[in-house]
Chains A and B, each alone.
Chain A
Amino acid sequence: MTSNEKITMRQLQVLIILSAMGTGAIVLPRLATEYLPVQNVWVVAVGLAVLAVAVGVLICAAARAAQEACDGSFLEMVSFLLTRPVAYAICIALWFKIVVAAGFEIRIFLELSRDVMLPNTPMWVVGGVMILACAYAAGKGIETRARVAEVLFALMAVPVLLLFAVALFDVDFSNLRPLYVGDTGAAIRGTLRLGFVLTGLECLLLVTPYVPRERSMARAVAGALALAGLLIVALTTITIAALGSGAATELWPVLRLMDAISLPGAFIERQEALMFGFWIITAFMLGNAMLFFGGTLLKDLRKAPADSGHLRSDVSDVSDFVEAEEISRVRKGGGQRAGGGLHAGVAITAAAVFGVTLLPFSPDEIFRQMNFMYATSGVFFLLVLPLALLIAAKITVLGRYKILAKMAAFAILMAFAGLLLTGCWDKVEIEERAFVVAVGIDAVEGEYKVTLSVPIFSDEEENEDAHIKTAQSATVADALAELAERDERQLFYGQTQMIIFGNTLINDPDLLPEAVAELNKNLQATQRIHVLSAESAADVLAKTPHEKIIPYAEKSIMNFYDFEKLIASPLL
């Protein structure tokens, strides 16, 4: 029943590290502030690391013991130790837990991507692509996944360490004081409730058949989890140190971290894209881990016959080369190692996960739901059991209608592709963007006068003032909307270098907060923007040709985030 695939201990460790750094790590600082003041949140992170190691070791011990009793797939082991029906129930419930956990994790990732990367792309497209990629990887079997993990780990290790090293110099560790206030009860509660941050520990049970028996799994797993925990502790500590109290208010404080770090001599300015690359990779690894284990559970439940797939065991990454007969078993299949059973299981799991990601919750609700789920898994089992049995029956039927299923899959794929043809949602040709290089706001008679400096990049001789746009309106939003109407291009604030507040605005306590809030909405808060003041922002901008603004902006003065430290300095 088991596939002959095996992975090495080193590969298992890498898989664990990459999967454990799920999106929960990003939100940990924010969530932990519900239990402890922001400076002490790192305590929760340490608690989580310890908890994870303890749980991991426990699971390994249990898994090894079970393997001693009955060497086989997870289902076989459990049905041998407990009874068969109980085993089935557990497997199905586990499958559901995996589906929901994966769904929520990916959903958080999608919220993140909408905030930072692709604001206009529908979530189901991004989610669909991510899940398809995870399904593709999961369908290839655990050996392939392990090799991918090895390569990704090697690629990511150096940049991550570099980033941490640079961050250590840039952040202000005094933000961590006072070091620990002493509310141990809250700390423990926080740790337990936030256990979901180190996601996927239950999959350790399922990975046992693939790990060689001779070596000590507990030690390897403990080491990997300790390292993952250490990374999360470091990440949390640095985030707090960098952002201070800001860590409590942001939903994704770790991304703000990139803003605080200035890589020396870095060509790329918005490092959050790079950081986001890391999260894409960890979400991918987590997603395909969940899909793989979900698919394996379904495959075991369905009792895939001992045909293609299983017998094809070639060079497993552990043992020596095996007989030539086994290699040649699947010739035309082209790399289908784990067989059709796994593919069907992964497909069904992927569809379920996709459904979960589309549930209409807000990010906060998602966290509450995850908490709820983890706290009350027991109740969940009872509700779902009959439904699960029905599904299990349907799965067996599906096997006979493989061709229909393939046609359905093809039709869905075509429909999906057709939908994609409707256009790219976030793609804007570079010449269609109006890059707003500077924003100036004055208060005139109780209204806002907004001036934008939008350079025109063309060879033709233009009117000297063509790059300045002014509008006056009761709210900043209206003014900006009016300006957007005037220009056929799309106003883009990603390259805004400076904001100038006129003195009239600064001195007006009613108008200033709204202006700031409105700007906050439009600008990505990870930008480095100089905030300056002048007598009249409009005049200053009108007199400064954009060729002067651009080189001037290259010099770094200060961080937009520390808004309280507004410096009054005239531009000219």
Chain B
Amino acid sequence: MSVIVLLIVAGGAVAAGFLGAFVWAVRSGQFDDMCTPAVRMLFDGGATRRPAPAIVAQMSATSGTTRFAGATPQDDEPRAGALADGVERLRTDVDRNRVDVSGEFGRCL
């Protein structure tokens, strides 16, 4: 029967681990806004943060889908194609999710 003691210790440790994770999540603000993240996850690729400089250089060299502040806005054919594709994909995503999104909003706002 002494194996139960072992189980209790193991079970308690797991439970305490989850409690710790929950405490961390609350204190780091993950429960502050229960609304916007649900909407944000639907965006395809729109980074909300400025990428580190190295990544910026790499991205502007390889992919044409992003343009950064400071870049002169002017026509650029290969980029236009990639961007149009991205917009199209995002639009279908959003169309598919529109009902859900507005439902989410009704709850939040």
Please say whether chains A and B are actual partners in one complex: no
Chain B contacts to A: CB under 8 angstroms: none
